[in-house]
């Protein structure tokens, strides 16, 4: 009987003149699928076609910049304050989903003011529909990178990850972790469930007619999941160990709490305001000349 799984996948999909990493590929696939889904959503709503490209650009820039700065300020400011030039070395790793979420919220504020001239919740209810899938793919990228995994476990699906991943990729013998919870897979599965729920709410229940409902479900589902799984996940930075000992939660959980509260509030609010009855022409609006 298998007592654990030894994970020896190389983070590089292939190397050569150009190196392609699984993590980057998962990001790219996520953005591509996200764009295709948003294209169908905006056409379904009868919006101008240019709104799709605009929201995609705002979201991509917000995600990358915000996730990087989130890691810098929320997790490793002591290092980056002394080495500010390294902030731009995004290829070396270091992205934080909470920072990405905050930046997207700021980006949507600009998008709503400059492009749609609609309430921010209008954009949020539509842009979050595919994001659960994107988040799941990113966690698969983390799995390929042998990073962000959980505590030691005796469960038969525990993974032994390569701890000296950089040296191993350069020819050294692997040093394996003890069998650990593959929390990347746990999160990916939960995020896929959130994606399926948001798709169902939008396409089958017309939940976008209750402004803020889909956005609230997304926030509660994604960050509620993150909060719970953190209990069996290793901390990302050593200083979080003391935080756990003193407060019982780590940085990821602390940062998730405001988003969970926002999600609950949005869901309650959505059922206490009149439902909007929308029409869905299933074609892009004619551009004004």
Q: Which helix (H) or strand (E) is 73 found in, with range?
A: helix 50-74
The count of C-alpha atoms lying within 13 angstroms of the C-alpha of 202, restricted to the half-sphere facing its C-beta, is 28
Spatial distance between the Cα atoms of 223 and 249, rounded to a whole number of angstroms: 14
pTM, 2 dp: 0.94
Taken in order 128, 129, 133, 136, the sign of the CA dihedral is positive
pLDDT of 209 reads 97
Please report, for the chain, the start and end positions of each structural domain, with discontinuous segments joined by +: 5-270
| Structure tokens given for 112 | 């709503």
Tens digit of pLDDT for each residue in 81-137?
A: 888 898 888 877 788 889 999 999 999 999 999 999 999 999 999 999 999 999 999
**DSSP reduced 3-state for 150:** strand
Spatial distance between the Cα atoms of 12 and 16, rounded to a whole number of angstroms: 10
Spatial distance between the Cα atoms of 55 and 108, rounded to a whole number of angstroms: 8
Are the beta carbons of 7 and 146 closer than 8 angstroms? Answer: yes
Tens digit of pLDDT for each residue in 240-271?
A: 999 999 999 999 999 999 999 999 999 999 99
Tens digit of pLDDT for each residue in 203-242?
A: 999 999 999 999 999 999 999 999 999 999 999 889 999 9
pLDDT of 2 reads 63
Spatial distance between the Cα atoms of 38 and 108, rounded to a whole number of angstroms: 14
Spatial distance between the Cα atoms of 224 and 253, rounded to a whole number of angstroms: 9
């Amino acid at each position: 009987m298998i007592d654990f799984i030894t994970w020896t996948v190389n983070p590089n999909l292939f190397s050569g003149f150009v190196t392609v990493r699984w993590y980057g590929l998962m990001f790219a696939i996520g953005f591509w699928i996200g764009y295709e889904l948003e294209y169908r959503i905006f056409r379904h709503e009868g919006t101008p076609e240019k709104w799709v490209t605009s929201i995609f650009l705002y979201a991509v820039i917000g995600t990358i910049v915000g996730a990087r700065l989130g890691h810098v300020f929320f997790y490793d400011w002591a290092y980056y304050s002394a080495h500010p030039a390294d902030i731009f070395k995004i290829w070396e790793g270091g992205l934080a989903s909470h920072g990405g979420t905050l930046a997207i919220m700021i980006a949507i504020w600009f998008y709503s003011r400059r492009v749609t001239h609609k309430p921010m919740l209008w954009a949020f209810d539509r842009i979050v529909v595919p994001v659960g899938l994107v988040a799941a793919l990113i966690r698969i990228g983390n799995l390929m990178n042998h990073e962000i995994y959980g505590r030691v476990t005796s469960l038969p699906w525990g993974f032994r990850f390569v701890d000296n991943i950089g040296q191993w990729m350069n020819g050294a013998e692997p040093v394996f972790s003890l069998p650990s919870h593959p929390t990347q897979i746990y999160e990916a599965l939960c995020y896929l469930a959130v994606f399926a729920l948001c798709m169902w709410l939008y396409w089958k229940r017309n939940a976008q007619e209750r402004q803020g409902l889909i956005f609230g479900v997304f926030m509660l589902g994604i960050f509620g999941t993150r909060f719970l799984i953190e209990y069996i996940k290793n901390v990302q930075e050593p200083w979080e160990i003391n935080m756990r000992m003193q407060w019982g939660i780590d940085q990821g959980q602390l940062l998730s709490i405001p988003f969970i509260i926002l999600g609950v509030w949005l869901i309650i609010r959505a059922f206490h305001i009149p439902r909007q009855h929308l029409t869905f022409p299933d074609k892009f609006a004619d551009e004004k000349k």
